[in-house]
Structure 1
Amino acid sequence: MKCTITLTLICFIFIIIPSVYPRTITWQQIKQATGILKAISGKDVSRQLQIKDLYFKRGSYIKNIQITHVDIPRISIKGSWKKTIIVKASNIGLGLTADWRVKKRVLFIRYRESGTLRASVTNVQFSVTLHMQTFRVANCSDSIGSFKVKLRGKLLAWVVRTFVNVDKVLKRKLKGKVCSLLIIELYRK
């Protein structure tokens, strides 16, 4: 609820402040400003951000990767309202769930384990620079802070963690997805 109130206030800022200047704002730009705020809100991000399944050697995989929740506690808007606006969000948290399976051979012993994983991503940040006249993205950058994965399996999930560095693999797959999603959302509106 706190996020929705903040986004509504920001939407009013998009409408009221530009009207102070002699330049007129069109209804289409108001719709685009609302689209920006919806793209930034957690519900749309968690519904549309998808990560492809990961397949490794010898039948190992991470499948059904889903984002369960997105928390965006802090959004700031800066810039000159005549030229560009910079929208920044920081301290974003994500929750992921997935299914995993590992097939390994250690010396002469075959090992097979499967289960679920829960991941929490913290301190995700992004910054989007928009041209006010065209409402087009001039620049977008994102960064991912820490990534913690908990594996749940039948017996030896800790053995899997030693063989496969799941944290780094998922972090690499998630890098750049936030910016690409925001750009797609902005151009779709």
Structure 2
Amino acid sequence: MQNRKNNVRLKVKMYILSLWLLFCFITIATLDFKIICESFCSEKIDWLNMLTGNIIPIVCIIMLVLCIIFYFQFKHELSGTTQLPVKVTKVCNRNADYLAFLSTYIIPLVFVNFDSKRQVLILILLLISIGFMYVKTDMFLSNPTLALLGYKINDIKTENGDICGIMISQGDIEENEKIRYIRLDRNAFFVRKV
């Protein structure tokens, strides 16, 4: 039971990490430079006005900081995995899945009207809904923003059959290479070369 909770937590972190590019775009689209300039140009900096006028970019910057933390947590967790190395016997590239996610979810979300509170609420609910779907179906692994971080998506099989499913790795994994892995779900793995 504890292992299942850890896997769900890991998958949620992976999903949030996969949205880092969206958070960057939203920050750029919503940052109110006029309020910032007025606040810093006045005799006394109006922190309250500057913060309240930039709530959405501040939340996105906090999410970007979380993405950086999650990224280094993944690298640390994978380096400390206790799984024995396994030999890859078959690799099938699935990097084409990236385009579907980008065109379906990321690009349309960038063009939300952030001046409307209702639209912002819809965006938040949509991201939460997508998160639930992607965590339950493991499709969050095919997010193109992960490709920009150097991650690859492949279907793999190993020599002894321990692993058969979707693999996300930083860099290419070839047949006959040895890998270590963290099981994200029954058929989803985060792996690295040994």
Instruction: Give me the TM-score of the superposition, normalised by structure 2.
Output: 0.31
Which one has more relative contact order, counting CA pairs under 8 Å at least 6 apart? 2
The alignment's TM-score, normalised by the length of structure 1, stands at 0.31
More helix by share: 2
